Amino acid sequence: MSNLPEHKPEPWFWEAGSASCPHGPEPDQQSSAWDAWAERHTSSPQDVFVCLDAPMGDHYPACFDENGGDPTPWALCGERGRNTVLEASR
């Protein structure tokens, strides 16, 4: 058994209100626009709202932490190839 955490891709999304979010900035929670906006946005483990209509692609959270908070695409994950070899040997 390996002590390495399992490196598996997860879908990531651009931050709500970013240039990639088609819905614009977060409206006031008391406004009539809030419910429609909230249906397409959710909080993330990084404690920000993300837009479900703005996919960033597959990423791995540990790579995010290891790269100073910059999202790392799954294809560029440094442990990806190593983990694939370990999984194949099980």
Give the contacts of 8 (CB within 8 A, at least 6 positions apart). Answer: 60
Q: Across the beta sheet with 49-59, what order do the strands follow?
A: 10-15, 49-59, 41-43
Q: What is the mean pLDDT of residues 8-33?
A: 91
The rounded mean pLDDT for the chain is 78
Domain ranges of the chain: 10-88
State if pTM tops 0.75: no
Confidence of residue 16 (pLDDT cuts 50, 70, 90): very high
Per-residue pLDDT tens over the stretch 50-90: 999 999 988 877 776 666 667 777 777 776 665 544 444 44
Q: Please report, rounded to a whole number, the percentage of residues in the chain having pLDDT higher than 70.
A: 72
Between 6 and 15, residue with greater pLDDT: 15
DSSP-assigned beta bridge partners for residue 10: 59
pLDDT of residue 68: 65
**Residue bearing the bigger pLDDT, 49 or 63:** 49
